[in-house]
Amino acid sequence: MKLNTWAAVAATCCIVSTAAAIGGGPPPRPGGNPAKLEDFKWADPFSSRRMKKFSADCSAEKTFSAREYLLDDLSEKLPNGLKPWSAALKKLFSGRAYPGSWDGIDPHGYDRNLLMMEYSEVPIAVREWIEDQERNDGEGKGLFGVYDKPKESDDTIRNVVKFASPEMAAGLRPLDQKRVAIFAPGAVYDILPLWVAASSECKGEQAGP
């Protein structure tokens, strides 16, 4: 039995988040009702018995920086909140289920976690995957919201970026500097190998059990 190494490689991706501190903060409000996502597969992805059938040819590890917010921060101005994208994010959230926090818990309501990264700092393999899902209405469409940055602090961004065709995308990469990606922590797991692909020596190799 032969399979692509990416199915067997043990990839580690670490996103270091900085929580946004809000001076004063909003008045107390009721929290959500935290619940484990029934279909969350990645609480401990590498302890599965199926992994014993494989041996890793190599591993890769990389660290990324992101700002972490709560859904409650949609009404707060930058840099403490996500107000410029509030309308666009509400539209995005209504389109699919919340993918979960780091450990697969959905805090519900105001306590849902969100990460924001500079789109240009998202690995190119992940950017290409996001863009392909958006163009072709793939299963991953809406997992990552990619938005333009506001030109002024009070600007309102209402829609996700519309990506050019793959043939044109390479020439338009400088535009990535003017964009951000906003997503739930749980969105990273299903495409975890792509986050470390550039630093791995396994890409394109073949491996057996």
Looking at residue 59, its pLDDT comes to: 76
- Is the pLDDT reported for residue 135 higher than 90? yes
How many other β-carbons are positioned within 10 Å of the β-carbon of residue 108? 14
- Is the pLDDT reported for residue 20 higher than 60? no
* CA distance linking residue 145 with residue 93, whole number of Å: 10
Query: What's the pLDDT band for 76 if we cut at 50, 70, 90?
Result: very high
Looking at residue 180, its pLDDT comes to: 98
Q: What is the mean pLDDT of residues 172-179?
A: 96
Looking at residue 6, its pLDDT comes to: 34
Looking at residue 156, its pLDDT comes to: 94
Q: What is the mean pLDDT of residues 30-36?
A: 69
Q: Spell out where the chain has E strands.
A: 3-4, 10-19, 35-36, 59-70, 105-106, 113-118, 144-148, 179-183, 206-207
Q: What is the mean pLDDT of residues 6-31?
A: 50
Looking at residue 159, its pLDDT comes to: 93
- Is the pLDDT reported for residue 25 higher than 50? no
Residues forming a β-bridge with 67: 18, 116
Looking at residue 37, its pLDDT comes to: 73
Looking at residue 176, its pLDDT comes to: 97
